[in-house]
Structure 1
Amino acid sequence: MSRRHLMLKIVLPLLILSLGIGGMLLLVKSRQVPPQQSPENRGILVETMVVKPTDHRVEVLATGTVQPRQQADIVPQVSGKIVEIAPQLVAGGFFRRGELLLAVEAVDYRLAVERAEANLSRFELDLETVRARAAIARQEWDQLHPGEAAPPLVVLAPQLKNAEAALQSARAALELARLDLERTRLTAPFNCYVRSETTAAGQFVRAGTSLAVVVGTDQAEIITPVPLDDLIWLDVPRRNGDQGSPARISLQIGDRAQLWAGYVDRSLAEVDARGRMARLAVVVDDPFGLKQQQSGVAELAIGSFVNLTLQGKVLEQVVALPRQALRDHDTAWTVDDRNRLRIKSVDIVRREREQVLVGTGIDTGDQVVLTGIAAAVDGMLLRPQQREAQP
């Protein structure tokens, strides 16, 4: 290899490297340093809602099981063989008040009425006979002893009283016989449906034996536990017949929620020993929809477990805040007109399941912060974004 070729092979790469380093240094020295800019502090992004005091009706949420308001055992007052049974006297059958449930053989009781009527006629005749004899005896005494009082035995006074008593007893016996005859036909004591029955045609029944259980259909009631603190918001009647706070009863059936209207009827005047809660009775009229004109009305069946919303008193000019907006139990965060955080103490009137009702501390038009902020400090800069209105 020639010396010239060797020099080119060594010197040329060094020359290229030197030119590259020189060009890089020239570019570094000739560049302009960009002006330094501090990032703009726009504040922490938070979700807010604008509040306005309004009148708010207190709602107390509760649950309970539907149970009968009226229930009765069908018990015959006379003995005999069953000769007639209504076709709908089966479990689930409906009756109107006064409709026949079943009938006991009435032959013996009809004969007893005829026998009592005959006895009554005989005692009426006996009384008339004694009265006639007493009148004759008094007339004879007055002729023989004018101006003197007749002794009771002479004018048949004891016999007359005995005949009158016998006649009164005969009338009572006739009334009892007629009553027993009426009792051979058992009718529905009120609008009802049959809960259970143990009857069969030809069956001999004795007085005092339960044959069926019927449940009233005009009303049903729900016994629901309510916290003692919630009683102050509800209207609980103290007299029979008064209606208390309205109630909305809901039951989820499939993908639909069925609704019924009711009202607070009374308090059971005792506190549950386990839960330390008061118990209220809520009444629902026409739970089976029998009085409704339209078809397809859902039945509020006995034994259903339902949700209740008891509508209480109206609180005037309060602010309803989501529970997430309440801080440290009695404070709320707001945003002022300069987008600064303000921590305010609030007066809580009532705490509900999903919201709190504030009496004072929040003004009309305040933007209340809904987003949580770590280490929040009064006066810190925020970037509020109002919550979209709920549809």
Structure 2
Amino acid sequence: MQLSKLKEKRVYLPFVIFAVCIALFVVLKSMKKPPEEKTAESVAPLVKVEPISFQPLQLSVTSQGLVKPKFNTQLVAQVGGAVAFIAPEFVRGGFVKKGQVLAQIEDADYQALVLEARAALISARASLQQEEALGAVARDEWSRIKNRKPTALSLREPQLAQEQARVKAAEAALARAEKNLERTRIRAPFHALVEARDIGLGTYLNPGAPVGQVLSVSEAEIRLPVADNQLQFLENQGVGTEVLLKGQLEGEASEWVAKVIRTEGVIDDKSRMAYLVAQVLNPYGLAVPSEDDSALDQETHHPLRFGSYVRAEIQGISLPKAALIPRHLVTDGKVPVLSKDNTLQFKPVTTVRDQGVKVVVVDGVEDQDQLIVSALQYPVEGMALRLPATKTAAGGSGDAEAGGAVAELANTSD
């Protein structure tokens, strides 16, 4: 009997062990913590935006050129002779005033010619007076003759005309002698900067021999090439408009103000550019001397030197409403804009012209539209976008959802 009971226990033992294992598994499973649920992260691309700002805009046209004098004059001798005097200011780089004697040719011979001409004139006038007296006598005598009519020769009219001609010839000879005497003094034709001197003391000059070269310092001119399609942005093709010149002076950036005085009116056959001419008055900033002064004085340390290379900004027309948008953001005439529901929208825009790295937009977008300035790898119209985190008052931050508020962004420079 005991053997039978032992056999029964052996039969039920596996079932007991299996039941205990199941119970233990259930207990252990009930003690295990479930995994924490993670919030779904937004996969929308993160973008930066800038508000588009419309405001009045003054257009300008850029150019460049070299500063040149309005007058560049070669001085030549008008009479012959040896050089007896040279002014100290008549050196390369010297400033001379209008009418100043730069050099003088020996004038003794020319003074003698003046004296001879004056003597000849006095003699001619005396002969004229004598002939006038003889003519008066002849007319008086013929007035007593009643039966004959006097001829011009009997009244000495041809002789009188001859003496009158001699007087005029003597006056002309005197004027020519005095003019030649004056021409022995070589004078500056205007306030000038001496570019070159070709003579020295004792140099013998023939008429027409070069003496030197002078540059007018009263006015400077700059030829400014402008593309033909840029003239539409200038009023009256730029004539009368202000020009801001920028260049280097003694290693420092400097600016000067000029004015467009004319257009050359043709298109250059090589460069295909139109040319405007800008004028700068008194480019060297010289003080006008008195009659007793011998040379000009430079009163400013901000001269615009001849031969300088300058960049020019020509004032153009004004637009009542325009916005500047980076040029690289305009593709096929459209710009990316963040819509109110934080989705991508491409808006076609009307551009007027390029201005540096930006384009001038006058239509197609609204003021304060959010322009997307960050790059999108695969932009698709209507795709959802995210903005950078918006800072809270406590200093914390959180990701904005697709319909969240627009973030406050700092403007990025180009």
TM-score range, shorter chain: 0.7 to 0.9
The answer to whether the aligner puts 1:192 opposite 2:215 as a matched pair is no
Give the secondary structure class of the aligned counterpart of 2:160.
helix
More deviation in 253-262 or 101-110? 253-262
Give the secondary structure class of the aligned counterpart of 1:73.
strand
Q: 2:336 aligns with which of 333, 336, 339?
A: 333
Aligned to 1:159: 159
**For 1:42-81, what per-residue CA distance to the aligned partner results, in whole angstroms no more than 9, with x for missing partners?**
x433232222222211111112122222110111211111
More deviation in 123-132 or 369-378? 369-378
In structure 1, stretches of 5+ residues that fail to align are 1-21
Question: Structure 1 residues 273 and 27 mapped into 2: Cα distance closer, same or farther (>3 Å)?
Answer: farther
Aligned to 2:8: none
More deviation in 379-388 or 301-310? 379-388
Identity percentage over the alignment?
Answer: 29
Q: 1:347 aligns with which of 336, 350, 356?
A: 350
The answer to whether the aligner puts 1:259 opposite 2:255 as a matched pair is yes
Give the drift of 1:189: 0.7
More deviation in 178-187 or 319-328? 319-328
Give the drift of 1:255: 5.5
In structure 2, stretches of 5+ residues that fail to align are 1-23, 289-296, 388-406
Aligned mates of 2:80, 2:298 — CA distance in 1 = 43
More deviation in 215-224 or 164-173? 215-224
Aligned mates of 1:378, 1:228 — CA distance in 2 = 38
Aligned to 1:150: 150
Contact 1:236 1:265 in 2 (8 A): no
**For 1:168-222, what per-residue CA distance to the aligned partner results, in whole angstroms no more than 9, with x for missing partners?**
1111111111111111111111111111111111211111111100011122222
Aligned mates of 1:338, 1:113 — CA distance in 2 = 100
Q: 1:33 aligns with which of 22, 35, 57?
A: 35
Give the secondary structure class of the aligned counterpart of 1:122.
helix
Give the secondary structure class of the aligned counterpart of 1:174.
helix
Aligned mates of 1:349, 1:118 — CA distance in 2 = 79
Q: 1:269 aligns with which of 265, 284, 294?
A: 265
**Which of the two has higher C-alpha Rg?**
2
The answer to whether the aligner puts 1:248 opposite 2:244 as a matched pair is yes
| Amino acid in the other structure paired with 1:280 | L
Contact 1:326 1:332 in 2 (8 A): yes
Give the secondary structure class of the aligned counterpart of 1:327.
coil
Give the secondary structure class of the aligned counterpart of 1:359.
strand
| Mapping 1:1-391, distance limit 5 Å | 26=28, 30-35=32-37, 37-41=39-43, 43-145=44-146, 149-235=149-235, 244-253=240-249, 256-291=252-287, 297-328=301-332, 330-384=333-387, 386-388=409-411
Contact 2:284 2:300 in 1 (8 A): no
| Amino acid in the other structure paired with 2:132 | R
Aligned mates of 2:198, 2:286 — CA distance in 1 = 26
Aligned mates of 1:237, 1:133 — CA distance in 2 = 73
Contact 1:346 1:358 in 2 (8 A): yes
Question: Structure 1 residues 39 and 309 mapped into 2: Cα distance closer, same or farther (>3 Å)?
Answer: same
Aligned mates of 1:141, 1:288 — CA distance in 2 = 76
- What's the Cα RMSD here? 2.6
Contact 2:286 2:298 in 1 (8 A): no
Give the secondary structure class of the aligned counterpart of 1:144.
coil
Q: Which runs of 4+ in 1 moved over 6 A?
A: none
Q: How many residues align?
A: 362
Aligned mates of 1:137, 1:62 — CA distance in 2 = 82
Contact 1:333 1:342 in 2 (8 A): yes
More deviation in 206-215 or 305-314? 305-314
